[in-house]
Amino acid sequence: MTRKRGRSARWGQNFLVDRRVAKAIVEWAEIDGARVLEIGPGRGALTELLAERCAYLSLVEIDGELAEALRQRYAQRPAVEVIEGDVLEVDLSTSIEAPVRVVSNLPYESATAIVIRLLECSLAIESMVLMLQREVCRRILARAGDREYGRLALLVGLHADVEAGRVVKPGSFRPAPKVESQLLRIRPLPALRFDVGSMGVFRDLVRAAFGGRRKIVRNTLGPWLQDRIGPRARRWIEQAGIDPAARPETIELEAFARLSREVSVHTASADA
């Protein structure tokens, strides 16, 4: 007989059970009197604490059974709403009244996609306090020259300021994960940190640059640029302040942004 996977396995969720950690998260989130969005409330370890202190609480829960349990639990609380659905698919700008502060223990499997989704959606988010796998936090916090520096650090750094919070041990969750978790506070900027021209171009450029982490930029970005601007690729890389012999993990966000902006202008001119 085939055993069905549990709810936590289906959604990659490790439920927070340590009330002291839950209280510390809510305290750090500074949500008194604010509108709050909690993603993946699960069994509600954070939810009750948030509902006691915020002005209005929106819960987005992908699991139908958990969503129904939350509806019943908060049926008499008009300032708490439950939205059943995948946060990667829900139209947040029409479902959630802004501005809002996000507080969440994110599922490991989809955490990075959710962070990028929140930063790139049109919903006005004042701040995010998120529990993530510690390795993901290292990737977000990384700076040029760090081993973990890559696409995630660049995308988050373009959109927001980030502050590291406490590390949380596996025993604070059920089931206990095999890795440590950490809190991050992410504050979206009112505008992108640097002008990149087209965000689509920037994403493609960074993806190409980090397509081979041990390769130099001339051999990763070079072919990608040649497909768009021809043999001038190396000169454009140099004009952006990038050494063609450098490895991508050593290049600052601002330099990637300069190159993206120039490519965007060229692409727009070619399409005109």
Kindly report, as residue ranges, where domains of CATH 3.40.50.150 are found in the chain: 7-188
Tell me whether strands 125-133 and 100-105 are parallel, antiparallel or unpaired.
parallel
Fold of 7-188: Rossmann fold (3.40.50)
Omega before 99 within 30 of 0, i.e. cis = yes
Instruction: Name every residue whose Cβ is closer than 8 Å to that of residue 115 and which is 6 or more positions away in sequence.
Output: 106, 128, 130, 132, 140, 156, 186
Fold of 199-271: Helicase, Ruva Protein; domain 3 (1.10.8)
Average pLDDT value for the chain: 92
Does the structure show a pLDDT above 90 at 140? yes
Cβ-contact 46, 21 below 8 angstroms: no
**What percent of the chain is modeled with pLDDT above 70?**
94
Question: Residue 109 is encoded by which pair of tokens?
Answer: 């499997």
Identity of the residue numbered 51: A
Q: pLDDT tier at 269 (50, 70, 90 boundaries)? A: low
Cβ-contact 23, 47 below 8 angstroms: no
**What percent of the chain is modeled with pLDDT above 90?**
85
Q: pLDDT tier at 1 (50, 70, 90 boundaries)? A: very low
Kindly report, as residue ranges, where domains of CATH 1.10.8.100 are found in the chain: 199-271
Count of beta carbons in the 10 Å neighbourhood of residue 124: 13
Does the structure show a pLDDT above 60 at 5? no
Quote the pTM value.
0.92
Q: pLDDT tier at 2 (50, 70, 90 boundaries)? A: very low
What is the C-alpha end-to-end distance of the chain, expressed in Å? 62
